[in-house]
Structure 1
Amino acid sequence: MFQCKDLFKLPSLSKMKIIAGNKGLHKIIRWSYKAESIHLAKWVHGGELLIVSKMVIHEKDFNLYNFLKEAISLNISGALLLIGPNYIEQIPQSVINLSNQKHFPLFLIPWDTPLVDIFEELGHAIASINLINDKHKDLLFSIIFNTNLSLDYLKYQSQEVNFSFDGYLQFFEINFLLPQSENAIILNDVDKDTICQFIHTLFENEHIPILSSSYTKNIIALINVNNTSLDTLNTLFPQILNYIKENHPNYIVNIGIGTRQKSLEKYKLSYEQASKCINLAIKQKQKNMIYYYEQLGLYQLFYDINNKTLLENFVHNILYSLMAYDKKYNTNLIQTLEVYLNKNCNLNQTAETLFIHRNTIKYRLQRIEEITNTSLDDAFTRLNFFNAILIKKFLQ
């Protein structure tokens, strides 16, 4: 992805300087837009480099502060101001303060710089990067969906994207939800590109080869962990989580991580494991969690059991009488039992969690024993109840 900081690499912008918004230099530029009206909403989609030239500044109601404020609200990545006689001659302090506060890069360049050169160089740079991004996506989707794939093909294609298929590889997946509804959300292109760029930079700084792409509500990535310790990875994934939480607080995020695999036949397995981690997080309504497949415990066993009927029968045998009772009398015995077991059979903590009196908990537990003809003093009984509740939630 082409970032604001990459503008300094373009020969046509050799005289450009930045006067505010330095903390936003990581922002992604998807294209450029030369403003021809003070009203931007109709003409931009977010992620543009806004070029402010002579035409717009001579409009009757032009105000640089209000103009850039609207640009920021439309998720434009930065602004390039042409300065000089009959152009912008002075930058108000309020504009500089706004740009710094919103991390909105504000660049200046002499008015006589040929814009056609800027458009041409920027267009070529963005197109080249997009081509690499497309290769990332093609490689990842080939691994996931192509059943007739060869390792030689992958190695040949990966040469252009600086990725190695030698050694151990590992998939991870990032899922995004909307907080208000906890429904899946399709990422907008600007957020998606910015997050992907952060992830790439994070792993590249640790010399970890990475392929990444996004689709609908997820970002998927494949990393070469042949020379990477678990301790290093255990520091990187929380950094991704914290970055998204701080910079995109409008999303709920969960990260699923598959196991390390060394053969072409098993790469797809790592992806499927990462996806299973995401599915589990969604089922459990988890928020901003990191799941390693190899650490799922019993859930890993549930996923690996091909015959789901066995799981359904186990739940039925252990919980059917309680489910039927709850349904008939509109009670919450299974919920009470779940909280009681999760609180290590502590009556006081169970009562506090459910906001009901301790004696009510005792009565409900007594009813559970009577209905199921069991004793909660028995450790094996408690284990069966606990596992049945886990499987029930897993199967929902």
Structure 2
Amino acid sequence: MSICCQELFALPSLKSLKLIAGKEGLDRNIRWVYAAEVIEDVTELTQWLHGGELVIITGIGIRNKEAVFIELMEKIHEKNLAGLIVCIGPYIEKIPTSVIELANTFNIPLFTLPWEVPLVEVTQDICTYLIHRERQCNEVEQFLQQILFLEGENSKSLKEQAALIGHDFDQSHRVIVIKLDNFASFIKDNQMKESTVIAFKKEFQQIIENFLKDTYKGFSLFVNDAIIMLVNGEIFDKQMLRTTLSLLQEKIQQGIGLTASIGIGTKYNQLSQYRKSMEEARQALKVSNQKNHKNEIIFYEEMGIFSLLGEVENLKVLKKIHKRMLIPLYEYDKINETHLVETLKRFLENSKNMHATAKQLFIHRNTLKYRLEKIEQLTGYALNNQEDCFHFQLAYYIHDFFKE
């Protein structure tokens, strides 16, 4: 787990740190710090950096050479580094305007630090903070693993662990599961190497972590190509939550170029119920995937009968019901260019009211009567039988469940 540039201002040795440019990039993540006291060759300096490093320079080797400064900023952008801290003193008196403009263009945080601040204290503070955050992240992940996947943990023990990581579970919480759409196909189509896939997943997870820091006090866990989030259920109502998660979907698409679907479980008050919320969120995603929907936000509690259909392991059972009840009508409509499937659906939606159905379909009552008799003849089921009508309605739900 990394930290973002915005958090640098809270470190003791960086009280005199000033942001000169790149304000829009303060959410860029710092994975490590690299102090370059002497710069002889910019390309050589950056060739061993992998992305996410915060670079600190004293100016030795650069002095006030504007061209070298610009080259360095371009390399920072090219290598996707976190940002640049420039020590202002005998070698660099001020940062050229062209470099400031470039930092703003690239959204790269550009800071200044007085020469008198010992770099050893700065690097020590940042590295210690990174290690502390990593340890904290591991503790959180272990805690989430326990409450979501392990059985036999008692609530008292879990609450004690929650207190150790600084979180209060007195309020209700819900689980949100986020999964990238068609991620497996994306990997295959782009022939991505394992190292590239890992880096891609880390970027995805970092977007989620930044989102949690900005909007919730919550936790996240990466499991089987999906992000599982545990968040306070009292912060937003459902509409506000939907709006906020839509913004997250936009950030994901802008950040890694893929859409993401989001399943949301019910909020619960007991730690022992969070696993149930997670299963609900997963079920919502399963149904969305079955219907081939993309970039969707699904609340389990709004799924209605689809939550029940999603629980069916053997999908052939559902397809048999659909085939038995509706396929004869589809085939007849196709051959004869009729509208029996739509007629039956409207008839059931209107609670079998003949007048309302005929009016909605713009047909005569006798025409509707003829169609309904034909439906009974083709299917062998009676529309005055409540159980048969239920099976017809179920077949329509199954149709929507599988519909692309």
The 8 Å contact of residues 315 and 392 in structure 1, kept in 2 or not, is answered as no
Is residue 111 of structure 2 the alignment partner of residue 107 of structure 1? yes
Q: Which amino acid counterpart does residue 134 of structure 1 have in structure 2?
A: N
2:368 is matched with which residue?
A: none
Displacement of 1:384 in angstroms is: 5.8
The 8 Å contact of residues 32 and 127 in structure 2, kept in 1 or not, is answered as yes
Distance 1:195 1:167, change over 3 A: closer
Distance in 1 (CA, whole Å) between partners of 2:395 and 2:311 is 21
Is residue 137 of structure 2 the alignment partner of residue 154 of structure 1? no
Is residue 214 of structure 2 the alignment partner of residue 201 of structure 1? yes
Distance in 1 (CA, whole Å) between partners of 2:59 and 2:235 is 54
2:352 is matched with which residue?
A: none
Distance 1:265 1:112, change over 3 A: closer
Alignment of 1:180-219 (within 5 A): 181=185, 187-204=200-217, 210-215=218-223, 217-219=225-227
Where structure 1 has 5 or more consecutive residues not aligned to the other structure, the ranges are: 205-209, 326-331, 346-368
2:273 is matched with which residue?
A: 266
Distance 1:143 1:393, change over 3 A: farther
Q: Could you tell me the TM-score, scaled by structure 1's length?
A: 0.74
Query: How many residues are matched?
Result: 350
The 8 Å contact of residues 255 and 290 in structure 1, kept in 2 or not, is answered as yes
Q: Which amino acid counterpart does residue 159 of structure 2 have in structure 1?
A: K
Report the secondary structure of 1:15's partner residue. coil
Tell me the percent identity.
28
2:49 is matched with which residue?
A: 44
The 8 Å contact of residues 38 and 56 in structure 1, kept in 2 or not, is answered as no
Distance in 1 (CA, whole Å) between partners of 2:136 and 2:19 is 28
1:128 is matched with which residue?
A: 132
The 8 Å contact of residues 14 and 122 in structure 2, kept in 1 or not, is answered as yes
CA-atom RMSD in angstroms = 4.0
Distance in 2 (CA, whole Å) between partners of 1:279 and 1:300 is 10
Distance in 2 (CA, whole Å) between partners of 1:177 and 1:49 is 32
1:171 pairs with 156, 171, 175, which one?
A: 175
The 8 Å contact of residues 318 and 385 in structure 1, kept in 2 or not, is answered as yes
Alignment of 1:309-348 (within 5 A): 310-318=317-325
The 8 Å contact of residues 173 and 230 in structure 2, kept in 1 or not, is answered as yes
Is residue 403 of structure 2 the alignment partner of residue 387 of structure 1? no
Displacement of 1:226 in angstroms is: 5.1
Distance in 1 (CA, whole Å) between partners of 2:291 and 2:34 is 44
Larger Rg, first or second structure (1 or 2): 2
2:261 is matched with which residue?
A: 254
Distance 1:114 1:214, change over 3 A: same
Q: Which amino acid counterpart does residue 302 of structure 1 have in structure 2?
A: L
Distance in 1 (CA, whole Å) between partners of 2:248 and 2:310 is 26
The superposition leaves residues 273-318 of structure 1 with CA deviations (integer Å, 9 ceiling, x where unpaired) of 1112223333333332211011112320112346655324314434
Distance 1:130 1:289, change over 3 A: same
The superposition leaves residues 146-171 of structure 1 with CA deviations (integer Å, 9 ceiling, x where unpaired) of 11211112111111333223343210
